[in-house]
Amino acid sequence: MDVRSGSFPAIFLFLICPFLLSSCDKNGVKVDNSQGTISISVTDAPIDDAIEVNLTFTGISIKPTGQFPYDVLFTEPLTLNMLNYQGDNAEPVIEDFGLQAGEYDYVRLNIDLDGSNIVTSEGTFPFIVPFLSLAKRNLQLFFTEDSLLYTKRFTVTGSQNIDFIVDIDLRKSIYESDGLAYNFIPSTRTLIRSNVGSITGSLATSLVDGGSCSEGTAGKSVYVFAGSNASAQDIQGNRSDPFTTANITGDSSSGYTYTVGFVRAGRYTVAFTCNADIDNINFANPVEFLADENVTVTAGNTPTTQNF
C-alpha cells in the first residue's frame, strides 16, 4: 500500500460561493470580510502488536454557526501510517486554510475506511465500524475532548491561525473483531497547540527489566491520568481511564525513555506498566502498575521532565 507522508494535499471545494474567503449576501454576491486560518495535524497514542495503522483522510467537514455544513474535499486522499506520529510528533493534514471570521459549530476529519487498514504479523486487515452499514464506508472523525464525544465549537478571528492537534488514541480505538477484520471506534482528543505541553523522562533499567518484567520494551508503557494522586487502572471504558498512553523506547544499554506529547497544561499522574499488551479495552484486565509519579505540565515548547 502506498503510504503518503510529508506535504498536505491540495484541496477542491464543491462550493458556488465559498464561506471560506468571503461571505455572500442574499443575492449570492461576494462580500469581503476579515478571515483567519485553521491548521489540523494528527498524532496517535500507541497500540501494541501492530506494524502499521494506515488511515486515509479524504477531506474535512465544516459547519459555520447558523448555516449549513459543507465539505472540503482533498484532490487526492492522504494516507498516513499513524504509528509514525507518536509522542510529540504530529503530521499536518491541512495547513493555513482560510476561513471567514466568525463562530463555527465544528470541523471534522473525514476518513475513507476502504482505503484504511491495520497490518500485523498475521497480515493486512480491514477496519469495520459497527454502527456503519457496508454501503457507507466513510467515517467522520468528530473532534472530541478527553474522549468525551461532543461537538467542539470554535471562533475564527481575523489574521488568526487556530492550530488543532487531533490525538487518535489507537489503543482505545482498535480491537480485533472476528480474526478477519478489526473494529475501529475512534477515541480522540482535540487540542490547540498553543495550550499544550509535553512530558518526557527516563526510566531506571532496574524498573523496566527487573522484577516481573521481561527484558526489552514489548508491552511497556506509561499511562497518563488526570489529576494528582490518581489511582492507576487499565482501559475499562469509564471516567477513571487514562486519557492517553506512551510506549517505552530504548534498551538496557542506551537507557529507557518515554515521551507524552500534546498534554493540556495541568496536573497529572503518570504510571508505568510492563504488561500493557494485555490491556483489552473496555474490560478489566490484570494490568500491573509498578511505579507512579505526580507531574505538573505547563504549556509551551519546553517539555516537563518526570523520571521513574
Integer Cα distance of 22 and 31 in angstroms: 6
Domain ranges for the chain: 11-186, 197-305
pLDDT tens digits, one per residue of 194-228 = 999 999 999 999 999 988 888 889 899 999 999 99
Cα–Cα distance between 250 and 256 in angstroms, integer? 5
Could you list the mean pLDDT of each consecutive 10-residue stretch along the chain, which spans 308 residues? 38 39 46 78 87 93 91 93 93 93 89 91 88 52 40 82 90 80 85 93 95 88 96 90 93 94 96 90 85 96 95
| pLDDT value of position 138 | 55
Rounded Cα distance between 270 and 294, Å, is 6
Domain 197-305 has CATH 2.60.40: yes
Q: Which residues pair with 268 in a beta bridge?
A: 226, 295
Q: Are 256 and 208 in contact (CB under 8 A)?
A: yes
From its phi and psi, is residue 224 left (phi > 0), alpha (psi between -120 and 50) or beta? beta
